[in-house]
Structure 1
Amino acid sequence: MATTPQVLDEPAAAVVTSVFQPGKLAVEVISVDHDARPTPPIPILIAAPKDDAGTYPVAILLHGFFLQNRYYEQLLKHVASFGFIMVAPQFALAGHNRGGHTAFSLALGYANTSTSLKFSVLIGLDPVAGTGRSSQLPPAILTYEPSSFDITVPVLVIGTGLGDESENALFPPCAPVDVNHTEFYRECRAPCYQLVTKDYGHLDMLDDYAPKLVTCLYKEGSSCKDVMRRTVAGIMVAYFKAIMGEEDGDLMDILKHPGLTPTTLDPVEYRLA
């Protein structure tokens, strides 16, 4: 039997606003690179609460194509301040666009090595599976059949309204139609959610110091990037709390009152059963 999460009794505006501002916990950012002992196979950026006595869920963020994990530091710190340990490995040629594809591929069992890790939740940040329907990244996970993903954990897809638009004729869009967030959400099974930041582009969640050589090539929103980062981070916090912390008030308020978020969310869709 499908059940609908309960809504908390607090006023919606107060509940929603809280997740879009930094949480109460002080956060430490740790960079683990090749100089560390023991040496990690790849550099890792970790944002974690400073409270050593606490026990916190761990989330892994796979960064964007041709980007570096440090460009997501503000996003990681925001989420970590609510009691989560955010781990961002430095992969070559992976992405929050293609990193999203990688995350879905792992959840679908396409890892080259077996793992005993159990994922509790999956979030795709404007995921991209290639440059077009006939040119998917390997593994080609999109089937173009509704609810075809064999993923048993709840899935959240955060899309961008400008991701499928080109900045100029020389460069294609970051998140082309048929391989972007819309198709990922369409192929998810319930429970799944899609929230799209209507007025922002694919790279607008990055820190302000991300190289302009990269960000200027693609369509950007005209508004403050901090608003985009807080929106994405706040949605992630609300989702983590709902799925892993069984505190679904923030998520349900965002779904029912999207106008209370820092920027416009359109569309807001979800399937619970």
Structure 2
Amino acid sequence: MATATATVTLSITLSAMLLAMASLSSEVVKPVLAEQLPVFEAGDISTKRISVDTSPKPLFIISPTVEGNYPVFLFFPGTCSSNSAYSRLFNHIASHGYIVVAPQLYTCPDIIPTTSENDELNHAAETANWLLSGLDAALPDNVKGNLQQLAVSGHSRGGKAAFALALGYSNVPLQVPISILVGVDPVAGWSKGCRCNPKILTYVPNSFNLSIPVTVIGSGLGDQKFFNIIHPCAPSGVNHKEFYSESKPPIGYFVATEYGH
């Protein structure tokens, strides 16, 4: 578990580098660059957990408490996952100087999502827009969010939502610019022939209409069945491989080969 968490943390810390490099690089980002940063160690910035119910959807926020203007990391959880389930990872990110915001975009009684992915995407856009007027008031004194450095990310279904938001599929116009996109084992449906709306995959390399840096994290075992019976969590044809294939440089791509979804 610790190694899997650290692997995901690698992608997040890489985001900081890509934010700074966005206007400088047009090459594929090399993993060796991450060796220059202590990505597997907690940062030295103290943090605070914050719950917000006045936003369009309930928010779980982990913020630095040290005075400053920090980049914002908006993260969409995976299928039927609580926004606080990633708290250990979020705290690690925040300790390196980020404000992490995770909305609970839908509920999931009986292990069945109550919201379509189209509606989920609209809620994601509403939450992102709320950051403009509502975020700073929810943060500790003298802490502000820098929305000119907004990273959008998500895991699994949430990873697909992050891509769809960046690609402009929401019916709610996005009012904040996205600086970087990070997909953590993104999944676009059950199979190539059974994708969820909005269908963002085109199966054409480099076809995503994005001009921002992208990082894709994949799992090596996510496309395998459980006990050779249960459907894979990240099936071939709709998983990280295709998201990477359709993204354009600058892009970072990592696969945790011995870990599942």
Fold conserved between structures, TM > 0.5? yes
Structure 2 unpaired stretches of 5+: 1-23, 107-112, 114-119, 121-153
Decide whether the 8 Å contact of 2:29 with 2:250 is kept in 1.
no
| 1:19-67 per-position Cα deviation (integer Å, ceiling 9, x unaligned) | 111001011111223xxxxx2332110011011x210011100001011
Give distance in 2, aligned partners of 1:96 and 1:113.
22
Give distance in 2, aligned partners of 1:14 and 1:138.
38
Q: 1:63 aligns with which of 65, 77, 84?
A: 77
Verify: 1:151 aligned to 2:172, yes or no: no
Verify: 1:26 aligned to 2:40, yes or no: no
CA gap 1:165/1:14 in 2 versus in 1, 3 angstroms: closer
- How far does residue 109 in structure 1 lie from its aligned partner after superposition? 0.6
Report the counterpart of residue 47 of structure 1 in structure 2: 62
Structure having the larger proportion of residues in helix: 2
Q: How does 1:116-155 map to 2 (within 5 A)?
A: 116-155=175-214
Q: 2:36 aligns with which of 10, 15, 40?
A: 15
| 1:168-209 per-position Cα deviation (integer Å, ceiling 9, x unaligned) | 24420100000000000000011112101111111xxxxxxx
- How far does residue 112 in structure 1 lie from its aligned partner after superposition? 1.1
- How far does residue 6 in structure 1 lie from its aligned partner after superposition? 11
Give distance in 2, aligned partners of 1:148 and 1:190.
11
Report the counterpart of residue 74 of structure 1 in structure 2: 88
SS in 2 for 1:168: coil
Decide whether the 8 Å contact of 2:51 with 2:61 is kept in 1.
yes
Report the counterpart of residue 103 of structure 1 in structure 2: 162
SS in 1 for 2:178: coil
| 1:213-247 per-position Cα deviation (integer Å, ceiling 9, x unaligned) | xxxxxxxxxxxxxxxxxxxxxxxxxxxxxxxxxxx
- Give the alignment's TM-score, normalised by structure 2: 0.68
State the identity %.
44
- How far does residue 107 in structure 1 lie from its aligned partner after superposition? 0.8
- Give the alignment's TM-score, normalised by structure 1: 0.66
Structure 1 unpaired stretches of 5+: 34-38, 203-273
| 1:131-161 per-position Cα deviation (integer Å, ceiling 9, x unaligned) | 1001111011111110000011010001111
Give distance in 2, aligned partners of 1:2 and 1:14.
18
Decide whether the 8 Å contact of 2:72 with 2:100 is kept in 1.
yes
CA gap 1:89/1:12 in 2 versus in 1, 3 angstroms: closer
Q: How does 1:226-245 map to 2 (within 5 A)?
A: none
SS in 1 for 2:201: coil
CA gap 1:14/1:111 in 2 versus in 1, 3 angstroms: closer
